[in-house]
Amino acid sequence: MKRLRQLLLLGLCLLTTATLLSACVNHQKSSANPRVTVTFWHGMTGANKTTLNKLIHDFNQSQTKYKVVGRSQGNFSNLQQKITAAAKSKTLPTIAQTTYTNVPDYVAGGFVTSFDPYLSQSTLSDIYPAFLQANKYHGKYYTLPFSKSARVLFYNQDLLKQEGLSLPQTWGDIQKMGPALKAKGLTTMVFDQSYDAELDGLVAQSGGHLYPLNGKVTLDHKQTVAATHVIWDMLQNKTATTAGNDGYGSTKFFAGKTLFYSGSSAGISVMQASTPKGMHWATAPLPSYHGKQATAISCNDIALFKSASTAQRKGGAAFVKFLMRKKQTIYWAEKTGYVPLVKSAQKNKGYHQYLAKNPTAKAAVGSLDFGFQDATFPGYYQSRLALLKTIDAMTTEQVSPEKALSHLQTQMTKIIKAAQ
């Protein structure tokens, strides 16, 4: 027993010495080549996280000044909660994935800083204007685009062929198909639980704004009400439906009795994996309205935090610029299904080959030329929740667009006034 105790003690001493020595060696190593650590919080999981880790690794290999350390915080909701808590406890990372719509709150909280000192015109010239316009708040780039997706029209190729129909070019085409398809027990279109993104697009196509622009709410304008009627009427006459508690319309779309589904291009890989055997579907850009095309773009950006040192900020900006480069953004798009951030990707030979092999990815990229993101403003999230509730009331309680939008107009005006 005594011998065993002596042996254990000796082992412990050796282990402690080894640890101390290795720490010294590491310290010597790091002091010989000091790299600035840039911490990066993101909400990527699974295969997307692996792709992002590869990009982080590539960046770390590409230079000797900075070392980016990526940390997944679980899903986007967890990530946002973590950022809020860290901003309060002053433990923010250097950069984090977030949405540009959070910027007004972050600016008011005084913990975000702009990328402007680290940007040149040439860095931004190739990026789609739809992304950059939204990233700008009070004339500064507090965020830069990262993982972006567009709304696209998924269509059941088998049903379209069976019914002898061609791909709709306008929302009017979709509306016209409804009654005949309904008589055959088919649904023309399914939306996600909320159709706010489609409504956003329709209102933009009619020349209006679903969200306030420069503090002005225009929800009760004739064209906004008329645009809302496009979807509402289809839901009322049961030629279209929403996903309801299924969340995503893909579940109903895959039941095989619905011709079209309007969804996010970010869901393409998941849809491909869960397509029922024998079903064939493809994607197309969303139809036009009033002769105009406009597709809502969504997803995430990257913000730079004030608490980081000047060297860390430089490193963070260098990493974000690295991610926006043509080679990296194409790699990111090919692996994850998000869209490339730069216009020149469309002319890239390798990416063309990728699109030829993956035709379902074409619609989202093709929509970027007429893609748009709503400008953010103080009170954005209150306004958004009010909008989602209004859409829910129009869907589940059949409240007319006239009544619902008039109420929302009053609500949003109040919210904007209070937030200023």
Partner 1 sequence: MINAKPTLRSTLHALLYLAPLLLITATFTIWPVINSFLMSCYTKYNYFTDHVGALGGADFVYLWHDPDFHLAVRNTLILVGGVVPLTVLLALGAALLLNRINWLAGFFQALYFLPFVTSTVALALVWNWIFHRDNGLLNLLLSWLGIAPIDWLNDPRYSLLALIIVCIWRGLGFSVILFLAGLNNIDQRYYQAASIDGASSGQILRQITLPLLTPTTVLITINAIIANFKVFDQVYALFHGSAGPANADLTMMYYLYQKFYIEHQYPVAAASGVILFGLIVSLTALSFWYFHRRSLRLGGGR
Binding part of the chain for partner 1, among 141-149, 267-275, 313-321, 378-386 by CB under 8 A, reads: 378-386
Show the tokens assigned to 249: 């319309």
Per-residue binding string, partner 1, 319-358, x by CB under 8 A, is: ----------------------------------------
As measured in angstroms, the least distance from the Cβ of 340 to partner 1 is 29
Distance separating alpha carbons of residues 254 and 143, to the nearest angstrom = 37
Cα 387 to the center of its chain, rounded Å: 19
Would you count residue 392 as binding partner 1 (CB under 8 A)?
yes
Considering the complex, state which of residue 34 and residue 247 has its C-beta at the smaller distance from partner 1. 247
Considering the complex, state which of residue 329 and residue 383 has its C-beta at the smaller distance from partner 1. 383
Q: Are strands 66-72 and 240-242 parallel, antiparallel or unpaired?
A: unpaired
Considering the complex, state which of residue 214 and residue 245 has its C-beta at the smaller distance from partner 1. 245
Would you count residue 88 as binding partner 1 (CB under 8 A)?
yes
Considering the complex, state which of residue 7 and residue 385 has its C-beta at the smaller distance from partner 1. 385
Q: Are strands 187-191 and 258-264 parallel, antiparallel or unpaired?
A: parallel
Residue of 382, 400, 406, 409 interacting with partner 1 (CB under 8 A): 382
Binding part of the chain for partner 1, among 123-131, 133-141, 199-207, 240-248 by CB under 8 A, reads: 240-248
As measured in angstroms, the least distance from the Cβ of 182 to partner 1 is 18
Would you count residue 60 as binding partner 1 (CB under 8 A)?
no
As measured in angstroms, the least distance from the Cβ of 74 to partner 1 is 13
Classify 166 as helix, strand or coil. coil
Q: What share of the chain is helix, strand, coil (3-state, %, to 5)?
A: 55, 20, 25
As measured in angstroms, the least distance from the Cβ of 382 to partner 1 is 5
Classify 97 as helix, strand or coil. strand
Instruction: Name residues whose C-beta falls within 8 Å of residue 289's C-beta, 6 or more positions apart in sequence.
Output: 170, 171, 172, 201, 202, 205, 206, 227, 230
Would you count residue 77 as binding partner 1 (CB under 8 A)?
yes
Considering the complex, state which of residue 62 and residue 81 has its C-beta at the smaller distance from partner 1. 81
Residue of 396, 402, 403, 417 interacting with partner 1 (CB under 8 A): 396
Write out the E strands in 64-179: 66-72, 95-98, 112-113, 136-137, 140-141, 143-156
Would you count residue 81 as binding partner 1 (CB under 8 A)?
yes
Would you count residue 192 as binding partner 1 (CB under 8 A)?
no
- Residue with the two structure tokens 């093709």: 366
Report the phi/psi class of residue 139: left, alpha or beta, with left for phi > 0 and alpha for psi in -120 to 50. left
Would you count residue 110 as binding partner 1 (CB under 8 A)?
yes
For residue 284, the cross-strand partners are 153
Q: Which helix (H) or strand (E) holds 206?
A: none
Would you count residue 109 as binding partner 1 (CB under 8 A)?
yes
244-248: list long-range contacts, CB under 8 Å, 24+ apart: 244/193, 245/193, 246/193, 247/192, 247/193, 248/192, 248/193
Considering the complex, state which of residue 10 and residue 108 has its C-beta at the smaller distance from partner 1. 108
Rounded to 10 degrees, the C-alpha dihedral 157/331/324/370 comes to -10
- Count of residues binding partner 1 (CB under 8 A)? 23
Residue of 63, 350, 385, 417 interacting with partner 1 (CB under 8 A): 385
Would you count residue 85 as binding partner 1 (CB under 8 A)?
no
Residue of 221, 244, 282, 346 interacting with partner 1 (CB under 8 A): 244
Considering the complex, state which of residue 257 and residue 335 has its C-beta at the smaller distance from partner 1. 257
DSSP-assigned states of every residue in 3-67: HHHHHHHHHHHHHHHHHHHHHHHHHHHHHHS--EEEEEEE---HHHHHHHHHHHHHHHHH-SSEE
As measured in angstroms, the least distance from the Cβ of 250 to partner 1 is 14
As measured in angstroms, the least distance from the Cβ of 392 to partner 1 is 6
Binding part of the chain for partner 1, among 109-117, 137-145, 147-155, 294-302 by CB under 8 A, reads: 109-117
Instruction: Name residues whose C-beta falls within 8 Å of residue 67's C-beta, 6 or more positions apart in sequence.
Output: 35, 36, 37, 38, 60
As measured in angstroms, the least distance from the Cβ of 90 to partner 1 is 9
- Residue with the two structure tokens 């070019």: 169
Considering the complex, state which of residue 153 and residue 391 has its C-beta at the smaller distance from partner 1. 391
Question: Can you give the binding site for partner 1, defined by CB under 8 A?
Answer: 77, 80-81, 84, 87-88, 105, 108-111, 193, 244-245, 247, 381-382, 385, 389, 392-393, 396-397
